[in-house]
Structure 1
Amino acid sequence: MSETPADPALRRRGTLLLAGIAGAVLALDLASKIAAVAFLEDREPIAVIDGLFWLTVLRNPGAAWSMATGYTWILTIVAVVVVGVIIRIARRLASTGWAVGLGLVLGGALGNLVDRFFRAPGPMRGHVVDMLAVFAPDGSIFPVFNLADSGIVCGGILLVLLAVRGIEIDGTRA
């Protein structure tokens, strides 16, 4: 008997893959933020590849490029909604690609939500710790980011590619 996208075993495998990837992204993001605050805060940026890549610490109250800095609470609500939607649609998940993409987005959203809820200046207004800088250590050319941001962007790109190719969340093709 061949497995079909509606097969409960495929859906269970997809959900477990999503959860595993989300957990890994969240754990790596939290560990990197803890290390960055402990070892990099209040120090000059460290050039890893001079002229290309630095380690530094910035506290970001907004989104990318510090947009929406006065609306941190709205960004928090949006992230909570994204997490809820991903958890809700996970029951239909039977595509490995969608599981990977959604897992990356979920892990990244959770990583930044932890900062929004538990970092200063307070719940739903917390500033996200960013520590990876490319092209300029101060974020003047490209925003300083973190592993959660990378998960969100990479997962988002993968989801767009899957949608363009007509691959549905249940593993069928449109």
Structure 2
Amino acid sequence: MVVAVDQVTKLLAEQRLEPGQRVDVLGDVLGLTLYYNSGAAFGLGTTLTPFISSFAVVACVVMVVALTRTTRPAWGLALGLLLGGALGNLTDRLLRPPGVGRGEVVDFFQLPSFPIFNVADICVVTGACLVVLLSLRDVPFRDPLPAAPPTADTAGGADGPGREP
């Protein structure tokens, strides 16, 4: 769902916005500005796009494995947001110009004194904050395993609990 919302909003931004021209949504607080980002977060590492793409692939695999192992809904939500956001931006890097693994990410949300970002970025940040919160609150990643049924040794011997031989 995250990837679909991310890609649809990017498509709409490309169809309705001109690169570099801000459209105010909430005055100076929120605007829309189409920007193509070849780097990582905050436009850093613009020459490292192939490395960023490779790292994103590895991160997605790790998150998929983690999602299959967690039994806690809160952890599933956090990891799902991280995975969806990573896949949204990875889709851009793989399918957009200038080429596979070097594609530019479409960004369009603009806040004052903050880099331009997209839905995938919102999901990555929200998922990361949830991971930190869950970790700080010691929320287990998995439900505890059920206790083993009592055996003859732990149930008081062959004669049953509480009986003397």
Q: Give the alignment's TM-score, normalised by structure 1.
A: 0.80
Q: Does 1:150 align with 2:122?
A: yes
Q: Deviations over 1:78-105 (max 9, x none)?
A: 1111100011122211111100000000
Q: What percent identity do the matched residue pairs reach?
A: 39
Query: More relative contact order in 1 or in 2 (CA 8 Å, sep 6+)?
Result: 1
Whichever structure has more helix as a proportion of its residues is 1
Q: Give 2:105's match in structure 1, choosing from 115, 120, 128.
A: 128
How far residue 36 of structure 1 moved from its aligned partner, in angstroms, is 0.4
2:142, 2:72 → 1: CA distance? 6
Q: Does 1:32 align with 2:9?
A: yes
How many residue pairs are counted as aligned between the two chains? 144
Which 4+ runs in 1 deviate beyond 2 A? 41-44
2:57, 2:20 → 1: CA distance? 33
SS across alignment from 1:54: strand
Q: Give the alignment's TM-score, normalised by structure 2.
A: 0.84
Structure 2: where are the runs of 5+ without partners?
A: 145-165
2:64, 2:77 → 1: CA distance? 14
- Residue of structure 2 in register with 1:21 after alignment: none
How far residue 56 of structure 1 moved from its aligned partner, in angstroms, is 1.2
2:58, 2:84 → 1: CA distance? 14
Structure 1: where are the runs of 5+ without partners?
A: 1-23, 136-140
Q: Deviations over 1:22-51 (max 9, x none)?
A: xx1111000000000011134721100111
